[in-house]
Amino acid sequence: MATVPEIKIVRSESVGHRSDVSSPEAKLGMRVKDLWDEQKPQLSPNEKLNACFESIPVSAFPLSSESQDIEIRSDTSLAEAVQTLSKLKVLSAPVVDVDAPEDATWIDRYIGIVEFPGIVVWLLHQLEPPSPRSPATAASNGISHDFNADILDNGNSAVTSGNFFEVLTSSEIYKNTKVRDISGTFRWAPFLALQKENSFLTMLLLLSKYKMKSIPVVDLGEAKIENIITQSGVIHMLAECAGLHWFEDWGVKTLSEVGLPIMSKDHIIKIYEDEPVLQAFKLMRRKRIGGIPVIERKIEKPVGNISLRDVHFLLTAPEIYHDYRSITTKNFLVAVREHLEKRGDTSAPILSGVIACTKNHTLKELILMLDAEKIHRIYVVDDSGNLEGLITLRDIIARLVHEPSGYFGDFFDGVMPLPENYRV
């Protein structure tokens, strides 16, 4: 049986250096270097970087795997959508309205972006006991009422039996519901997008201060998505810039020198290993975070990490939990690791356990760690492995660039309602 890995603290000497100066990302770094050299000498390093990134359009960002004609038709079933997302190894994809006219603008061509977490949450909502005013029943969804009552507790993440997701993925609602029918779960409709002429600075600020996970770039002429800029893509771009003087001047600073981590251990959202895994995913979606540490109660130390992307294992491999009485976070981690090891998949981030650093690591080392491990967040621990804080890509970008006063102006007007606390 697979075991839960211990905390993995990446050592400074294990972090490599970039040498492929011909990569598209490295060429972007060279472009920043040239712009840096043109800046006025009286500007601070942060002001220089702001000016450099403001001068580069997002059309220059390398195409991501998620933008390679990955679109889902609005008449696709949930089961088919899950298989497509899983096969392409992406968390989300834009949904094309099959009823849109050929000459539709991009706003009318897409109805939103469908995500694994949104599909799971929508399915769970359908299983909640109907209100007295609602004529709907669980049986109408192809799932027995008794099964429904056993696994959910008025919308809370009660302990679920091991065969829960096997039953769920065999249900008629899962097989027959169309993606367009769950458009209410989309974060926004259709979505907040950048045009090709928008700047890198705009993109970086949206990913950091405004907490977007990915940003579509649209071609207005073609009325379609040309690229999707992801957090992973930005991490890789920054990692490929290692060795350039503008990057080294910034990257040599230690985390403690730049005031990281911002989030202390008392503010980290966590979950215990004996709690239901559904609670972990609901917490991530509700709190709009990309991952959550799994804590062992006796020692109060992290023993694993579950990210939002791992939610697909609930729907794509429901049989792996069959022998468990309940799907706790610990059981989920063990079952998924066994499943991946049997398939010979050694690259999945969930196999790495808890990736951590210390406050003595530099920004450069941190970026290279994130890129090597294919993660967006890293835990900060002390010498004894005790959790001290959390650092995300957003925190790193916030130390790279800043938002000038009045920068966005009316950028968000009419695109989407401003969320609580002015976050995208």
pLDDT of residue 421 exceeding 50: no
Strand 8-9, strand 355-357: pairing: parallel
| Backbone torsions φ then ψ of 100, nearest 5 degrees | -70, 140
Distance of alpha carbon 387 from alpha carbon 366, whole angstroms: 17
Amino acid at 64: S
Burial class (CB in 10 A: 0-12, 13-18, 19+), 70: middle
- Structure tokens belonging to residue 85: 């997302």
* 3-state SS class at 361: coil
Instruction: Answer yes or no: are the C-beta atoms of 291 and 300 closer than 8 Å.
Output: no
Distance of alpha carbon 67 from alpha carbon 196, whole angstroms: 14
Alpha helical stretches, state H, 137-228: 145-151, 164-169, 172-176, 200-207
Range with the largest mean pLDDT of 130-134, 200-204, 229-233, 373-377: 200-204
Instruction: Tell me, yes or no, whether 262 lies in a domain.
Output: yes
Instruction: Tell me, yes or no, whether 250 lies in a domain.
Output: no
pLDDT of residue 155 exceeding 50: no
Task: Give the chain's end-to-end CA distance (angstroms, integer).
Answer: 42
Whether the bond into 24 is cis, omega within 30 of 0: no
DSSP 346: -
Distance of alpha carbon 165 from alpha carbon 303, whole angstroms: 25
pLDDT of residue 158 exceeding 80: no
Cα–Cα distances (Å) from 253 to 6, 15, 145, 250, 365, in that order, read 28, 16, 58, 6, 10
Distance of alpha carbon 73 from alpha carbon 111, whole angstroms: 10
Mind spelling out the 3-state secondary structure of 62-98? CCCHHHCCCCEECCCEHHHHHHHHHHHCCCEEEEECC
Distance of alpha carbon 252 from alpha carbon 207, whole angstroms: 23
pLDDT of residue 73 exceeding 90: yes
- pLDDT top residue among 122 and 100: 100
The residues with which 94 forms a beta bridge, in sequence order, are 113
At residue 129, the pLDDT reads 54
Instruction: Tell me, yes or no, whether 326 lies in a domain.
Output: yes
Q: Report pLDDT digits (tens) over 234-276.
A: 999 999 999 999 999 999 999 999 999 988 888 999 999 999 9
Which residues does 423 contact at the CB level (< 8 Å), separation at least 6?
Answer: 210, 211, 288
DSSP 246: H
What CATH number does residue 265 fall under? 3.10.580.10
- Please give the biggest Cα pair distance in the chain: 72
Q: Name the pLDDT band for 30 (thresholds 50, 70, 90).
A: very high
Domain of residue 395 covers 256-400
The count of structural domains within the chain is 1
Average pLDDT (34-52) is 94
Strand 214-219, strand 194-195: pairing: parallel
Q: Report pLDDT digits (tens) over 163-192.
A: 888 888 999 999 999 999 998 766 555 678
| Backbone torsions φ then ψ of 333, nearest 5 degrees | -60, -45
> Angle at Cα 355 formed by Cα 350 and Cα 357, nearest 5°?
170
Instruction: Tell me, yes or no, whether 15 lies in a domain.
Output: no
Instruction: Tell me, yes or no, whether 98 lies in a domain.
Output: no
The residues with which 293 forms a beta bridge, in sequence order, are 305
Rounded to the nearest 5 percent, the helix, strand and coil shares of the chain are 40, 15, 40
Which residues does 415 contact at the CB level (< 8 Å), separation at least 6?
Answer: 192
DSSP 199: B
Distance of alpha carbon 303 from alpha carbon 275, whole angstroms: 14
Beta carbons within 10 angstroms of residue 136's beta carbon: 10
Instruction: Tell me, yes or no, whether 385 lies in a domain.
Output: yes
| Matching residue, tokens 């579950």 | 306
Instruction: Answer yes or no: are the C-beta atoms of 385 and 8 closer than 8 Å.
Output: no
Instruction: Tell me, yes or no, whether 263 lies in a domain.
Output: yes
Q: Report pLDDT digits (tens) over 304-361.
A: 999 988 988 999 999 999 888 889 999 999 999 999 999 988 888 888 888 899 999 9
Burial class (CB in 10 A: 0-12, 13-18, 19+), 274: middle
Instruction: Tell me, yes or no, whether 277 lies in a domain.
Output: yes
Beta carbons within 10 angstroms of residue 14's beta carbon: 11
Task: Name the pTM for this structure.
Answer: 0.83
Q: Which of 173, 167, 176 is nearest to 319 (CA)?
A: 167
> Angle at Cα 6 formed by Cα 4 and Cα 12, nearest 5°?
140
As a whole number of Å, the CA-based R_g of the chain is: 22
